[in-house]
Amino acid sequence: MIQPQRLSLPQVTLCAVTSVNVAATVRALEASVAQVDFAEVLLFTDAVVCPLHPSIRVLPIAPLRSSAAYSDFLLTRLASHVVSTHCMIAQWDGHLLRADRWNPAFLDYDYIGASWPQFDDGHDVGNGGFSIRSRQLMELCRDPQFIPVHPEDVAIGRTNRAWLEAQGMRFAPRDLADAFATERTGDLATSFGYHGAFNMPRALGPRAFWQVYGELDELGSIRHDFGLILRHTMRGSGGMRRARRMIADRLRHALGR
């Protein structure tokens, strides 16, 4: 059988930054490097971890105590480690799905991520959990005129978008952004990647999602859209057992146990 040609992206560095759900984050990176050759693959974490894939390089950082600390790292520190023209951000619940859905036009812009349907003012691109941003944009995020609000994708895509565009930065149009990644909009059957735990049971399949779920050490990320995640996780053999476990975990989390 002829194997499909691997996608080569020598101008893109794949990065993930985390202090929680580290095993699941490694799994997300491994799912990406299984299909794509990147310039580099960098995992920034305070955890002791040994990824199976040799291309994943672990860079130690101080523990990130909050999501705001994560935003600060991406806005102020990540650019110092990226030498390629672009950086692709992945998270434990967001990574590429199918390399054969790559569109070279994704790199024609300084920022691309799944669109935000809640905004109708044209500043709706987009989600940073699975995104690509140019190194030039990353450097501008450290400019004194940039307003570093949390979360970092809102800082880029809304708070500072007009200023960034005045500096020559280009944001992908909404239709291309949704072809790049599915979050609240887009189509998992056609998009290059996705973001959001609520998409994982459909994107990966219930059993594969269940493997990821078993590795999580921080369940706050699935608190939102819990009902939707539960409904999709129940599908297939063993669905009721998975549902009972998730409900029990949610109750323990709510009680602080």
For the cut 70, the answer to whether the pLDDT of residue 257 exceeds it is no
- CATH number, domain of 82, equals 3.90.550.10
Question: With bands split at pLDDT 50, 70 and 90, how would you rate the model's confidence at 2?
Answer: very low
Check whether residue 174 and residue 229 sit in a common domain. Answer: no
Sign of CA dihedral 21, 225, 209, 115: negative
Average pLDDT, the chain: 94
Check whether residue 118 and residue 210 sit in a common domain. Answer: no
For the cut 80, the answer to whether the pLDDT of residue 85 exceeds it is yes
Say if 112 falls within a structural domain: yes
For the cut 80, the answer to whether the pLDDT of residue 253 exceeds it is no
Check whether residue 67 and residue 110 sit in a common domain. Answer: yes
Q: Of 144, 173, 195, at which residue does a domain stop?
A: 195
229: containing domain = 204-254
Sign of CA dihedral 62, 68, 72, 78: positive
- Residue carrying the six token digits 């690509």: 132
Say if 2 falls within a structural domain: no
**Stretch 20-24: mean pLDDT, rounded?**
96
Check whether residue 136 and residue 213 sit in a common domain. Answer: no
Check whether residue 175 and residue 211 sit in a common domain. Answer: no
Q: How many separate domains does the chain show?
A: 2
Span 234-249, pLDDT tens digits: 888 888 999 899 899 8
Q: What angle do CA 86, 92, 98 make, to 5 degrees?
A: 65
Question: With bands split at pLDDT 50, 70 and 90, how would you rate the model's confidence at 256?
Answer: low
Check whether residue 180 and residue 233 sit in a common domain. Answer: no
Check whether residue 208 and residue 145 sit in a common domain. Answer: no
Residue 254: the pLDDT is 72
Per the CB < 8 A criterion, the answer to whether 41 and 12 are in contact is: no
Check whether residue 166 and residue 234 sit in a common domain. Answer: no
For the chain, helix, strand, coil in percent to 5 are: 40, 20, 40
Give me the percent of the chain exceeding a pLDDT of 70: 97
How far is residue 90's CA from residue 129's CA, in Å, rounded to a whole number? Answer: 6
Check whether residue 157 and residue 114 sit in a common domain. Answer: yes
Say if 184 falls within a structural domain: yes
**Stretch 102-109: mean pLDDT, rounded?**
98
Residue 5: the pLDDT is 74
Residue 4: the pLDDT is 56
**Lowest-confidence range among 18-22, 45-49, 137-141, 223-227?**
223-227
pTM of the prediction? 0.94
Check whether residue 140 and residue 225 sit in a common domain. Answer: no
